[in-house]
Amino acid sequence: MNPILEKAIDHQKSKETQSIFIEEWDCEICFTELSLAERKKLEKLSNGNTFEMAAYTLILKSLDKNGNKIFDLSDKPHLMASVDSKVIERIFVAMVGGVDTVEQAEKN
């Protein structure tokens, strides 16, 4: 294997799980950085709709402190219609990194 590619893969593997404390829910959500393959999957699932992408990102990446998934696909309607969108947006932004709002994510 290409030595630079090996270093790049090792770098990704060495990254620790990140977390964000959600005060409104009194819980911590853990996650790992999105890979390009995951980003592609999210883009496909959401048909380019950033708000759906936010819900799918939470479903795909949200973990509890033991590494267990918090949400599944059956939770999407609730995440879309019954959960504070500002909280979802804050989690989404933390997970995708590099943007401050869902609107900025749409522009990128």
pLDDT at 108 > cutoff 90? no
pLDDT single digits (tens) 23-78: 999 999 999 989 899 999 999 999 989 999 999 999 999 999 999 999 999 999 99
Residue in 43, 37, 67 with CA at minimum distance from that of residue 56: 43
When comparing pLDDT for 13 and 46, which is higher?
Answer: 46
First to last CA, the chain: 32
Model confidence pTM above 0.85: no
Q: Is residue 63 part of a domain?
A: yes
Q: Is residue 40 part of a domain?
A: yes
Q: Is residue 3 part of a domain?
A: no
- Domain membership of residue 38 as a residue range: 26-107
pLDDT at 98: 57
Q: Is residue 39 part of a domain?
A: yes
Q: Is residue 64 part of a domain?
A: yes
pLDDT at 52: 96
When comparing pLDDT for 48 and 106, which is higher?
Answer: 48
Total domains, the chain: 1
